[in-house]
Amino acid sequence: MKITGLFWLMIPAFLQSHVPLLHTPGPLSSVCFKGPAMDLAHAPDTSLVNAFYRQRKGRLFWFDSLPYAAAKRRVLREALDSCAWFGLDRTRYPPLEQAGGLFTIPGSGPWMDLAARDSLLTGLALGFCRDLFQGSDIYQWLSYDGLERLHQQGDDRYIVDKLAEADSDSALLSLFQSLEPRDKSYRLLKSSLKQAIHNQYILQIKQLGITLNLLRWVNHFHYDRYILVNIPSASLKYVRQDSVELEMKAVVGKPDWKTPRFGAYCNEIILYPYWNVPRKIALRELLPQFKKSPSLIDSMNMQVIDAAGRIINHHLLDWSTYNRDNFPYHFRESTGCDNSLGVIKFNLTDPFDVYMHDTNLKRAFLSSYRFRSHGCIRLEKPYELAFFLLNGHIDQDLIASCLKGQAPVPLPLEKPVPVFVLYLPAETVAGDSVRIYRDIYRLVK
């Protein structure tokens, strides 16, 4: 939402009623607006600005009497002016060529008094800090977020407290630097973005910017361990204590049957899972085949299940009477190594019925084109991942036995592990180079 002229007219009343600033040069009701109108987009919640000044007991921050005030304003302006280097959209902040007066102490005929200027610069700084810490425009790239709501209030308090403590230009600069990830991979991607900006490679600028913001979002949670699935690279990483402990190929959704992008938890592993065929797949792909040849149900190790979960004798059904509109059953594939889910399934808390799993089609991992699923995520090394997530407490003999018809064995995790399924158009490979991936889902506009 863009906040335009109306916001500026409301500033005097807002400051009088909400921000008890001290050392102001005159009554707040006498604020004079003589500068050009500006468009302040994506302003932080005014409650954050209020909290900031409560933290400082109402004292000015950018125009106080301390010798570092002018230097702090310079650091903020330079940071905002170079926001593209962080993968941030310049339109999130006022056009600085129009807002120059906002950063200086007014001479004669000020267009805004110091208290109002101080508050606006604080709003800009808090918004910039949040973008550095959490990434910007994240929800443009997510279909579901089951993680952030548990952290937002603490994140905002952290940003407000840290900015309020930055009482010098060097402290402010250090704060900005501390909010970003510090790992080598992130730095390489950021360096590549600067090079792309220098060379005016427009598409690469977008791809690298998207990646940096999403990585900042992942990093700001500071989880001790998590799983990151990258759709464009069709790969998975298991990260523990900021180190990649396991990496593997994955098979993800087809371009016309996309894997959704989300943050959720892996809360359970199931050995010898059934595959309950999604109804869309069952009606579109399987029902026409089974109507022509019901014996395929046996050869494909399938079962017909009624609404009460009972197995129906499909040989006794009159298949000619069923179609997509009236079929009352669902299909389930029985357990075993030849099951489409293999012998390990990783349940996720997303709302899309998307999960990670083993597969009986191992040859798919030999191909560089691994966009072949109906949305779920097939794993090259499911046993190794299960071993890590279960802290080694897994019956490897049971898995190796490859039993047919074995009842599913649910194994809840002691602590759910965060899972990020993201669309990262760029990535570091081999530790020291950056790869730009094909925009397989055509999402980068």
**Whole-number Cα distances in Å, 197 to 181, 192, 209:** 21, 9, 11
Residue-wise over 125-146: b if at least 16 C-beta within 10 A, else e?
bbbbbbbbbbbbbbeebbbbeb
Cβ contacts of 445 within 8 Å, gap of 6 or more: 206
Please state whether beta strands 356-357 and 235-240 pair in parallel, antiparallel, or not at all (unpaired). Answer: unpaired
Q: What is the DSSP string of 393-410?
A: ---HHHHHHT-SSPPPEE
d(CA 144, CA 131): 19
Q: Are 358 and 344 in contact (CB under 8 A)?
A: yes
Global pTM reads 0.84
Q: What is the pLDDT of residues 129-148, one digit of tens each?
A: 999 999 999 999 999 999 97
pLDDT of residue 112: 57
Instruction: Give me the pLDDT at residue 106, please.
Output: 61
> Is 225 within 8 Å of 240 (Cβ atoms)?
yes
d(CA 418, CA 146): 9
Judge: domain 184-274+337-436, CATH 2.40.440.10.
yes
Query: 318: which 2 tokens?
Result: 């009159």
Contacts of 440 by beta carbon, 8 Å cutoff, 6+ apart? 231, 232, 255, 371
Residues of the chain under the 70 pLDDT cut: 1-45, 94-101, 105-112, 149-150
In the chain, residues under CATH classification 2.40.440.10 are 184-274+337-436
Query: How many whole angstroms separate alpha carbon 403 and alpha carbon 422?
Result: 35
Angle at 222 between CA 421 and CA 152, to 5 degrees: 80
Query: Of 314, 309, 227, which Cα lies nearest the Cα of 274?
Result: 309
CA angle 389, 393, 396 (to 5 degrees): 100
Report DSSP letters for 322-364, one per residue: --TTT---EEEEPPSTTSTTTTEEEEE--TT---EE--S-GGG
Strand 302-305 with 330-333, pairing: antiparallel
Helical pair 114-134 and 69-81, crossing angle rounded to 10 deg: 50
d(CA 385, CA 380): 10
What pLDDT, on a 0 to 100 scale, did the predictor assign at position 64? 86
